[in-house]
Chain A
């Protein structure tokens, strides 16, 4: 009699079980994505891919894993080194598998959640799509997504992480890219001296920095706008075309003649560390950059009209002293907390 009752109970239990009840929720806390008080609203719709503990961990692991490249060596982190605001320190153009050289300088990674388009020419219109470019480019990671998936499926730790990070538990391109985005979304750099002044947290500019800030506002801020220090537009800033690359810039994406030689206005945060400068890394120091803007520009059909004055001269007039002051200000955009943040470190 008692046995029969047990059977009945088991029957009841089994009959009502559904997939939902079989699903054992995994501890995967949502991470707090906090917009700094002095920042605009993010461009990325974070609610569609909210960073979680496991998703972030997976994204970080992928970011630093050479398996994402064909030779097993070149990871995302190979060209994006944290100490230099995730740029390829001293490398003029990025280096890829088998010693291949790219044609452009690796851009810093920070505040990606606030950017509308990605890469120097805006080829990627969404953060989730950006990694497709370096992963599949022959001169960068030279890998295919099918290749990556096969490699990851053979790693029990990845199988586990994917199953913990995503509800469908699958190792597929969608989840690979979402995990990488979760890692990059959390990479917010907003704790510079400049930020602390902008948020009234007690810091003050030195006299030189204050003078530099005033000059910056009158000479640079029309393009390097707002707290992100970019208006996210594409402009030709008068660099002579390097015949070695003949990089046509934004024109490669749109095919429009008006976009020839235009590149995205970069953010200037952590600019002290992201040398060398410009899309092809041709300028070594901040002083070289300012010299270019004051005296080095060449005219062309698409040169930004902002650089042309009525008397026909090109560039932004700056004295040697003014340059020193502007550079002093630019150095207030260095975020040591971000550069040393363990959450983003490889080891």
Chain B
């Protein structure tokens, strides 16, 4: 009987010992965060189709469609330490029309305090092959974000119509992506968080990100629709729009 007890004890030890490979170091803990993207103009949420806005070139425009791709999300600590979200799960389509698409939920993030978020606008094809980059195709297909003939993604689809001095409405269409290997319009964007984001096992923090859509026309560059209202594979205007887009994101609040 004593022998049985020993055997059972030994088994128990083996069972327990097999549970943790690290043996000694504490198990890392993980948490989640939601990034809440709010597309605004003049600090108000945009309304597709109905509301009209005026850009710096005095053109009055309404928006019918607004979609863009966010990728390669990295959370950064004050000491510079980075948590890189798995690239193959890290492509997101923000579609103004679909409420759920505007909240990106990230899971299995190393616990800790983060002060910055870095992400990509578009898809970084120059670093191809990225694992799973093509697994985003079905999402892109569904929402018309695939440039079929160029085997690439549209990073942003921004469409609507505009008028000048109360004249007749003209459609505008802005599609920005990369142009083969000659021009990469992918942008890496780093934003500071107003307060530290605490990732813990038991909480579900959120970061509110304001996306100032007016900056697409009026950011570091000013774009007038009268000059060009159809931007697709445009080596002059597309990079200027992409530069503007890189400035339109701000983190407004962190709720831990």
The verdict on A255 contacting B179 (CB below 8 Å), with A5-B7, A136-B141 known, is yes
B129–A252 CB distance below 8 A: no
A123–B149 CB distance below 8 A: yes
Within 8 A of B (CB), among A85-132: 117, 122-126, 128-130, 132
A256–B235 CB distance below 8 A: yes
- Contact-residue size bin, chain A (C-beta under 8 Å from the other chain): 35 or more
B180 at the interface (CB under 8 A from A): yes
Task: Report Cα–Cα, A48/B131, bound state, in Å.
Answer: 10
Q: Mark B102-134, 1 if CB is under 8 A from A, else 0.
A: 000000000000000000000001001101111
B181–A122 CB distance below 8 A: yes
A173 at the interface (CB under 8 A from B): yes
Task: Report Cα–Cα, A252/B235, bound state, in Å.
Answer: 11
Task: Report Cα–Cα, A172/B131, bound state, in Å.
Answer: 12
Give the segment of A59-67, A142-150, A286-294, A301-309 that binds chain B: A142-150
Q: Mark A1-33, 1 if CB is under 8 A from B, else 0.
A: 100110010011001100000000000000000
B45 at the interface (CB under 8 A from A): no
Task: Report Cα–Cα, A164/B142, bound state, in Å.
Answer: 29
Task: Report Cα–Cα, A211/B254, bound state, in Å.
Answer: 76
B149–A129 CB distance below 8 A: no
B151–A125 CB distance below 8 A: yes
Give the segment of B8-16, B26-34, B156-164, B218-226 that binds chain A: B8-16
Task: Report Cα–Cα, A343/B234, bound state, in Å.
Answer: 43
B227 at the interface (CB under 8 A from A): no
Q: Mark B137-171, 1 if CB is under 8 A from A, else 0.
A: 11001100010111110000000000000000000
Q: Who on chain B is nearest to A140 by CB?
A: B148
Q: Which residues of A contact B18 (CB under 8 A)?
A: 15-16
Separation in Å of the B126 CB from the closest CB of chain A? Answer: 9
B180–A16 CB distance below 8 A: no
Separation in Å of the A96 CB from the closest CB of chain B? Answer: 12
The verdict on A15 contacting B233 (CB below 8 Å), with A144-B141, A174-B132, A253-B180 known, is no
Task: Report Cα–Cα, A255/B129, bound state, in Å.
Answer: 25
B182 at the interface (CB under 8 A from A): yes
A137–B129 CB distance below 8 A: no
The verdict on A117 contacting B151 (CB below 8 Å), with A48-B129, A126-B128 known, is no
B43 at the interface (CB under 8 A from A): no
The verdict on A123 contacting B11 (CB below 8 Å), with A4-B4, A144-B138, A145-B141 known, is no
Task: Report Cα–Cα, A1/B128, bound state, in Å.
Answer: 61
Partner of A145, one of B138, B180, B233: B138
A254–B8 CB distance below 8 A: no
Within 8 A of B (CB), among A237-262: 252-256
B48 at the interface (CB under 8 A from A): no
Q: Which residues of B contact A253 (CB under 8 A)?
A: 150, 179-180, 182, 233
Task: Report Cα–Cα, A224/B102, bound state, in Å.
Answer: 50
Separation in Å of the A130 CB from the closest CB of chain B? Answer: 6
Q: Which residues of A contact B128 (CB under 8 A)?
A: 125-126, 128-129
Q: Who on chain A is nearest to B140 by CB?
A: A145
Partner of A132, one of B7, B148, B181, B238: B148
Q: Which residues of A contact B (CB under 8 A)?
A: 1, 4-5, 8, 11-12, 15-16, 45, 48-49, 117, 122-126, 128-130, 132-133, 136-138, 144-146, 149, 172-174, 177, 252-256
Ranked 3 nearest A-B pairs via Cβ: A15-B15, A124-B151, A136-B148
Known interface pairs A128-B134, A254-B180; 11 further A-B residue pairs with C-beta atoms within 8 A, sorted by A's residue number: A15-B14, A15-B19, A123-B151, A125-B180, A132-B151, A133-B149, A172-B135, A174-B131, A177-B134, A255-B233, A255-B234
> What are 9 A-B pairs with beta-carbon distances under 8 A?
A8-B8, A11-B11, A12-B14, A128-B134, A132-B146, A133-B151, A253-B180, A255-B234, A255-B238
